[in-house]
Structures are given as structure tokens and as C-alpha cells.
Structure 1
Amino acid sequence: MHFQKNIIVNPDKNKMQDSITKTSFTSRITDWPEDERPREKLIQNGPEAVSSAELIAILLGQGTVKINAVDTAKLLLKRFQSLEGLASASLIEMQEVPGIGPAKAVTLLAAFQLYRNLQKETAQKVVVKFNDPAAVARIYMPIIGHLKKESFYVILLDSSLKKIRDVEVTRGLLNASLVHAREVFNPAIKYNARGIIVLHNHPSGLLEPSPEDLKITKRLSESGEILDIPVYDHLIITENGYYSFKEHGLMS
């Protein structure tokens, strides 16, 4: 009697594996002309002369027996449709691509996060009056726009509409309606803020406010009136844009 084991497979990964066997992915980069190798091309011509796939290949370091680093990079870009899509991928999602193990996935995640940190550092050096929703969004898009979980921030402002500090109130709640007014206004009272702006991200990428977003905005505005700490705006942030309640006439 013969027994057959049940094997769980990833169909997407199998398709990519099939494409590898049907295409000449086996040429090693070390066999290429020197001026076509990603590292050498960057050294000779500068980083601007190197494609995104080649830059990713440099980060990967080397390929596998079946596929070189450049073709692995091309598979990554194809799987996630763009560099932006790859930058938003998780550790597990990256490892679904042939040739990508934990070490290479971690290297890519670290590189993308380093870029976000640079964006954050650069944005925070700019002196901003926080009555400009677009300027506020530019600061916080690299901080929370890419997050997979919802994060809710309060920005504490002085009488000149300059930032005293910001505080992450919650992260990982299913929706903004679960945020309590006391969690938002406690730091405002502690640091003697004259007003606040609240903001949160939409992991879905959608910029339209949900019914829960409208409820929490109304609730916080009413609490701010009682405490004499006005809520100047509520921003919804994604990686590619923002929605301002103030700009849309939704602040009471």
C-alpha cells in the first residue's frame, strides 16, 4: 500500500519557478563584461546610471545556482509591480520570490527603512507653521504613510502654531473610533499646548474618511472646545497623499 503525502505549495512561487526554468536565468554576473556588471557600472558611471533592478541586485549581493542577482531583482519588481510596491512588501512576502531568503529580505527592508528615516529627518528640519495641511502631510507621510497598521498621532502646537512635540496615541487599532479623547488631550494639557492637530494613516491607501473618522473628529472637536484646546485639523495620511478635514470644510 502506498501513501501520498499532502504538500502545501505556493502557486505564485511555483509560477515564478517555472519561468526561471523556461528562461535563461543561469548566466552568472561574473561572466558578464565588466562594464555591464552592476557594481562596476555604479563605480564607473555613478548611481544615476544604474537601473533600479541593478541597484537591488547590489543590495542582494549574489544570486543562487539557478538565478543571478539581477534577474532575482527583476522578479521582485515584477511580483510587486513597482519599486513602490516592493518598498511596501513585508518580510514574508519578499521571501515568496525565488532566490530571496530571510537575509536578503532583511537587507531590502533595512534599505527602504533607511530611506524613510532620511525623508523623516529631512522633513523635520524644515521650519513649518502647522496651518498648512500639505506641509504637515509632507512631514508625516514618510513616518506613518507606509505602515500596515493604523497609527494615530496628535501634534501639540503653541500659540504661534509651531510644533511643541508629537505623540503617537495608538497603533494597531482596527479603526480611529476606538481612540479616546483623554488619550489625545492628556499630552496637550501636560505640555500646555494651545491647540492640536490629529492625524492617522489608512493602510488601505484610501484617502476618503470613514464614518468612524467623522465620528472621532466630531468627538475630539467637542472635547477641545470644552478644554479650550482647539483641534485645528484632522489629516488622513497614506504613502502617496493626504486628506485634510479642514480643507474639506469638515472641522467645526
Structure 2
Amino acid sequence: MSAVRLEKLRGAVRSIREEKVFSVDWAKTQCRDLAPAYVTKILKQLAKDGHLEVCKENKQTYYKWLVEDPREVDHWIEKQVYRQQVKSVPLADRPREQLLEMGVEKLTDAQLLAILIRVGVPGESAVQAGLALASRFEERGLARLIDASLQELKPITKAMRSDSYCQIMAGIELGRRIASLRDIEPVLPERIRGSDDAISYCSRRFSRLAADGVQEEFHIVSLDTQHGPIASHRITVGTLDASLVHPRE
């Protein structure tokens, strides 16, 4: 069903993509096989999401494309089709949500690759693509991925496109550079011996939650005998403005 919706939306956008500026009536003519209301809905959503600019002239409504890169429109199309299904997908197949909830260190190699791949293709999700890549490089070592060309990776997964490849290579290179800096400036084991240390640790550990969270959450951080952080544990998720914690928890 999703594949049908995807092709329908792609066909509609492809029909109006060639004209830089166009009228609503012209768009409906180009998409004569589709219901006029459906075409109008597409135009309004494209404008709302910043891909089209609405222009008025002589009581006539015109639309002007604001994006030059067709890949941006392709990504928009995929989001329209698949984003409504996200909430019904198990958490294990939603690596971005897992990263925000549990921390990046809890994700598998396949899940990290899925985040870099971003979007899948009909018949293969980004998670499946990440798993395919991780499995292929499991024996050779994931570090060998940096030496792989786009043409080498394409046969492994249909979701491997030029933008996905660039994101993976950029992520690997960024990690390599950060690792080299850590080798030059060794990081001492973290210890929490007082409130200042606790505030410093929590500010870093829960920065994503503080920035993106919509509900208050109560977490505890467990320490080893040397006062080093072992792990954090989410105890409760509260309402929009409070987190209710019972003493027995």
C-alpha cells in the first residue's frame, strides 16, 4: 500500500517539477489523472514545508519552487508516505528514538548505520539497510567500511544512494578525527564526588533530553565503588509539567 502511495505522490510532483513558477490550474492539468483536491493538498503541504512559495497576482494563485536540489523533494515525498507509520513501528526499528531515549552508546552498529542512511526504499527500510551493511562488514571489520566505494556498497543494499554514502563517510571521518584528538589529549576517568561533578555529568549526559524532551523524566545514575558512572536508569515519565516519583521506586 505504501509503495502505491509513494508512486502516486512521486508522479504528481514529477509532473509539476519542471516549471519554476506555475498556477494551480496548470498543476491540476498536468495531474489530470488525479483528483483536483488531492493536487491542491499536495501544493499546500509543499508550501507549508517550505518547498514552494505562494504568490498572488491578479487574484490568481501561483506557486514558485524554492528548492533546487531534487533530492530534497524526494526526501519530502518519502516522509509524507512513511512518517504516519512511525508510531506503529516497534521501538527496535526506530533507532533515532532509541538514541534519544537511551543514549547513543546503547545502539548497535546496524542502528547507527540506519541513522546515517536516514531513509529506506520501497521493500527495504533504513534499519534493514543498516543491518545488511553491518552484517557484510562484521567479519572484515567495520573499520574497513571507510575504504569501500559507493559502487561496492550499492549491491549490498538498495537504500545505498549517493547522499547516504556521503553521510556514512562523513560520520566515519568525523569519528576518526575525534578519536585522534582523544589520543593526543587523554580523557581521565570521570568521577562524581560532589554536586558540581553531578551537575557537570548530567548536563552532558541528559543534554538531548533537556533540549528535546516534552515531558519531565526522573532518572538515577548508578556509580561504581570509585564513584565512576556505570549507567543511567529512567524511573518515571511524568506529565507535561511534573514527574511523580514514589519513594519505593
Q: Which structure has greater helix proportion?
A: 2
Do the two structures share a fold, i.e. TM-score over 0.5? no
TM-score scaled by structure 1? 0.35
Query: Could you say which structure has the greater relative contact order, defined with CA pairs below 8 angstroms and 6 or more residues apart?
Result: 1
